Amino acid sequence: MTPIPPATVLGLVEGGYPIDYVFRILVHSINGVENQFGGAARSRRADPEFYTLLEKLRQIQASGAMALRVKKTENQGALLMVFRKRADEQAQASGREARRILGLNEDAREFRVFYGSTSDNDGEIALHTRSFLEILTDVSSTVEVPPEHVAEKRVPPTMESEGEGVKGNLIRIRHSTTPPRGCLRRRALPEWLVLDR
């Protein structure tokens, strides 16, 4: 139930995992810009600029214009996100748009990253990260469930996707009372797999 540390989240990004998917799965908000969240208790849609921000960050990452480093400050390590100067024009434009959305200093190249909901100044990035329980809750909210189970209040309704890619369902699980076409026939299944006696 402990939130994932920002250093772990950014370590995945530095390791080459796509930043848009990493942030979509592991982060509630970035400098107050809210991600979507599923689940019956506190379901919400993402802020309109959240997906734009993810798109811009992915472009910056793909260009190699983003880096992470730890800087020693007062006997402790400060995690920094760095926007490199040697970026192409598209990456520079994406960097400017990402800074605008996050309310960051347009001229600065280094930003301190920490766990939290909001930042105190335009030189900081607050990552409000999720716990593994919250990740499972969010992902499970997109599982397709039978309408009759929703009507009987056995499960909450499936959260509708907002589009494709990171806007869409991160996992697709469908239900059916009949086997799909082309699947193994019943007689080909081992005895321990036949459950509908």
Q: Is the pTM of this model over 0.85?
A: no
Share of the chain above pLDDT 90, in %: 43
Query: CA quadruple 19, 11, 35, 133: dihedral positive or negative?
Result: positive
pLDDT digits (tens, 9 = 90+) for 133-149: 999 998 888 888 888 88
Mean pLDDT, range 44-49, rounded to an integer: 92
For position 74, what pLDDT does the model report?
62
For position 55, what pLDDT does the model report?
95
Judge whether residue 178 has pLDDT over 90: no
* pLDDT confidence tier of residue 197, bands split at 50, 70 and 90: very low
If one compares 62 and 181, the residue with the highest pLDDT of the two is: 62
For position 174, what pLDDT does the model report?
74
Counting other chains too, the contacts that 101-110 makes at CB distance below 8 Å and 24 or more residues apart are 101/33, 101/49, 101/52, 101/53, 101/56, 102/30, 102/31, 102/33, 102/53, 103/31, 104/31, 109/82, 109/83, 109/84, 109/85, 110/80, 110/81, 110/82, 110/83
For position 154, what pLDDT does the model report?
87
If one compares 194 and 84, the residue with the highest pLDDT of the two is: 84
Mean pLDDT, range 47-65, rounded to an integer: 93
* pLDDT confidence tier of residue 164, bands split at 50, 70 and 90: confident
Q: In this structure, what DSSP letter does residue 80 have?
A: E
Tokens of 189: 């299944």
